[in-house]
C-alpha cells in the first residue's frame, strides 16, 4: 500500500469534486511530481508483473500534534498575542481537512482486500472549510475571539519564499473537494466523524499541555512581518 498524495491530482483542478480518475499533474510542486513518479512506477509493475499494490491519496491529514497552517504553532502564538497573521489568497478557497483517526479507518479497511489490488483511492473527509474558517477555528480553540487576518496573494508569498510558495501554489491555493464514493463502496465503515472545530481544540490542548511543544519559528515570524509590511491594507 503506497501513501501518495491528493496533491498529485491535476492542479489547479478543472472539475470538482475530484475523483480517482482525475488526471495527475502538478507543475508547481516537486513533492507532488515525485509522488506521481512513484505511482507510475507501481502501476507499471502491476501491469507488467502483477505486483500486488494499492495506491492511497490522502489530502490534508492532521492530528493533535499538527497545526494545519504553514508556520505551525507560530500562527497560533501570534493570534494569542493579538498580532496579525497572513492568510494566503483571499481566504475563501475551500480546503478538505481530515483527522488522522478518520483516515485510518479507510486505510486499515483496505489492507488485505483483494479488490483493492491495482486500484487507487483517495481517503479524505467530507468537510471543506475555507481557509478563513480554518484560521478562525484555530483562533477560537486558542481563546481568541477575533483573529487579525491579513490576506496576501499566494504568488506574493511564493516570490518572498519559493520553498513555502511551492506548497501553496501546488496545493493549498486551490479549492479541493473530493468524491469519496469509491472508498465507501469497499470500506463502508469509513465515515469521518471528527469535525475540524473539535480537532482544533485537540491541537491546542496538546500544545498547551507542554510548553516545549509551543515552538515559535523565528524565520517564519520574520517572513510574516515582511509580508505584512508589504501587503497589509493601508488606511485611506
At 183-196, the pLDDT tens digits run 999 999 999 999 99
* pLDDT > 70 fraction of the chain, expressed in percent and rounded: 100
In angstroms, the CA 171 to CA 60 distance is: 10
Q: How many angstroms separate the CA atoms of 27 and 76, rounded? A: 31
Report which of 116, 85, 32, 107 is spatially closest to residue 216, judged by C-alpha positions.
85
* Residue 68 near residue 97 (C-beta atoms within 8 A): yes
Break the chain into its structural domains and give their ranges: 2-231
For residue 9, CA distances in Å to 17, 59, 202, 224 come to: 11, 10, 30, 29
Contact predicate 127/62, CB 8 Å: no
Q: Is the pLDDT of residue 171 over 90?
A: no
Q: What is the pLDDT of residues 23-55, one digit of tens each?
A: 999 999 999 999 999 999 999 999 999 999 999
* Residue 217 binned pLDDT confidence (cut-offs 50, 70, 90): very high
- Label residue 230 by pLDDT band (50, 70, 90): very high
Cα gap 67→125, rounded to integer Å: 17
Q: How many angstroms separate the first and last alpha carbons of the chain?
A: 56
What's the confidence (pLDDT) of residue 236?
63
Taking 80 as the threshold, does the pLDDT of residue 235 lie above it? Answer: no
Cell 479524505, residue located: 124
Span 150-172, average pLDDT = 92
- Give 166's strand partners: none
Of 181, 177, 157, 194, the residue nearest 69 (C-alpha): 157
> Is pLDDT at 116 greater than 70 in this prediction?
yes
Distance CA 119, CA 139 (A): 39
User: What average pLDDT does this structure show over 135-143?
Assistant: 98
DSSP, res 183: H
pLDDT for the residue numbered 80: 98
So what's the pLDDT on residue 96? Answer: 95
* Residue 234: predicted pLDDT: 76
2-231: CATH topology = Rossmann fold (3.40.50)
Give the pLDDT band of residue 74 (cuts 50, 70, 90): very high
Mean pLDDT of 119-132: 95
Question: Over the chain, what is the mean pLDDT?
Answer: 95
Distance between CA atoms of residues 29 and 31, nearest Å: 5
Amino acid at each position: 500500500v503506497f501513501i501518495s498524495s491528493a496533491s498529485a491530482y491535476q492542479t489547479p483542478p478543472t472539475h470538482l469534486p475530484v475523483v480517482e480518475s482525475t488526471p495527475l499533474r502538478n507543475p508547481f510542486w516537486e513533492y507532488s511530481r515525485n509522488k506521481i513518479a512513484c505511482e507510475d512506477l507501481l502501476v507499471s509493475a502491476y501491469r507488467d508483473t502483477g505486483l500486488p499494490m494499492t495506491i492511497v491519496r490522502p489530502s490534508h491529514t492532521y492530528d493533535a500534534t499538527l497545526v494545519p497552517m504553514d508556520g505551525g504553532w507560530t500562527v497560533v502564538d501570534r493570534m494569542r498575542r493579538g498580532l496579525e497573521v497572513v492568510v494566503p489568497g483571499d481566504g475563501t478557497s475551500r480546503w478538505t481537512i481530515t483527522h488522522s483517526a478518520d483516515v485510518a479507518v479507510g486505510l486499515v479497511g483496505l489492507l488485505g482486500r483483494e479488490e483493492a489490488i491495482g486500484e487507487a483511492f483517495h481517503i479524505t473527509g467530507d468537510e471543506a472549510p475555507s481557509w478563513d474558517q480554518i484560521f478562525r477555528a484555530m483562533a477560537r480553540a486558542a481563546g481568541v475571539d477575533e483573529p487579525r487576518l491579513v490576506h496576501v496573494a499566494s504568488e506574493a508569498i511564493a516570490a518572498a519564499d519559493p520553498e513555502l510558495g511551492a506548497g501553496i501554489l501546488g496545493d493549498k491555493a486551490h479549492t479541493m473537494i473530493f468524491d469519496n464514493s469509491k472508498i465507501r463502496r469497499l470500506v463502508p465503515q469509513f465515515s469521518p466523524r471528527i469535525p475540524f472545530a473539535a480537532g482544533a481544540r485537540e491541537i491546542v490542548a496538546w500544545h498547551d499541555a507542554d510548553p516545549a511543544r509551543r515552538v515559535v519559528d523565528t524565520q517564519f515570524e520574520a517572513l510574516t512581518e515582511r509580508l505584512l509590511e508589504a501587503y497589509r491594507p493601508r488606511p485611506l
